């Protein structure tokens, strides 16, 4: 559990109750706590609308709430994306298919991507062997469409590049094929 923010005094205004209802509806694991009214009581939408928790109020929630608050209370600007990466994943069994796809990409997409090194070992947050395609934002739609149709049996991890690498890899990623668990410790996660 993690203390995310604290609402002061007249928290139970119309707007705050609306936010609280939405919060509870979306994430039942959220535990609103009122230090004055009850030491550690849960609060449902009904009691919130009755003003059941007056005074200073803290809301504790799991980290999933931090994602919720980011998406509902502030919006990131796509213009902050400086470009995209697509990481082609493979292992010893799919190495040849990965190399063949790389050669096809070099033939057909060389105008649109920069192809990185062919890593026959896990590097950075990537749990499998991989190579990277660096894609300018203006080429992303065309390259993504090509990969969706041509990745074969290989899995592809796609993420934007902003100034928040952890968010880029953990919250903003897209998978073609199957998803894998990344080593986010490498990114401070």
Which one, 11 or 157, has the nearer CB to Zn ion? 157
Backbone φ and ψ for 88, nearest 5 degrees, come out as: -80, 120
Site for Zn ion in 96-115 (CB under 5 A): none
Residue with nearest beta carbon to Zn ion: 85
Q: What is the DSSP letter of 155?
A: -
**How far apart, in Å, are the Cα atoms of 34 and each of 7, 14, 31, 59?**
10, 18, 10, 8
For position 85 contacting Zn ion by CB under 5 A, the verdict is yes
Window of 70-78, 81-89, 94-102, 175-183 that interacts with Zn ion by CB under 5 A? 81-89
Element (H, E) at 141: helix 140-150
| Sign of the CA dihedral running 115, 121, 125, 128 | positive
Q: How many residues bind Zn ion (CB under 5 A)?
A: 1
| One character per residue 32-71, x = contact with Zn ion (rule: CB under 5 A) | ----------------------------------------
Q: Using CB under 5 A as the criterion, which residues of the chain lie in contact with Zn ion when the complex forms?
A: 85
């Amino acid at each position: 559990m993690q203390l995310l923010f604290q609402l002061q005094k007249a928290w139970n205004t119309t707007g705050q109750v609306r936010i609280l209802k939405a919060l509870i509806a979306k994430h039942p694991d959220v535990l609103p706590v009122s230090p004055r009214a009850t030491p550690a009581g849960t609060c449902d939408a009904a009691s919130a609308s009755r003003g059941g928790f007056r005074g200073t109020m803290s809301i504790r929630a799991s980290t999933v709430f931090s994602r919720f608050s980011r998406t509902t209370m502030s919006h990131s600007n796509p213009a902050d994306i400086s470009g995209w990466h697509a990481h082609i994943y493979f292992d010893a069994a799919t190495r040849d298919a990965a190399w063949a796809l790389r050669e096809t990409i070099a033939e057909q997409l060389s105008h649109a991507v920069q192809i990185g090194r062919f890593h026959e070992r896990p590097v950075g947050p990537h749990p499998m062997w991989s190579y990277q395609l660096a894609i300018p934002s203006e080429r992303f739609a065309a390259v993504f469409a090509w990969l969706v149709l041509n990745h074969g049996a290989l899995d592809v991890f796609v993420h934007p590049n902003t100034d928040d690498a952890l968010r880029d890899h953990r919250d903003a990623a897209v998978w073609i094929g199957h998803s894998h668990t990344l080593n986010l410790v490498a990114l401070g996660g």
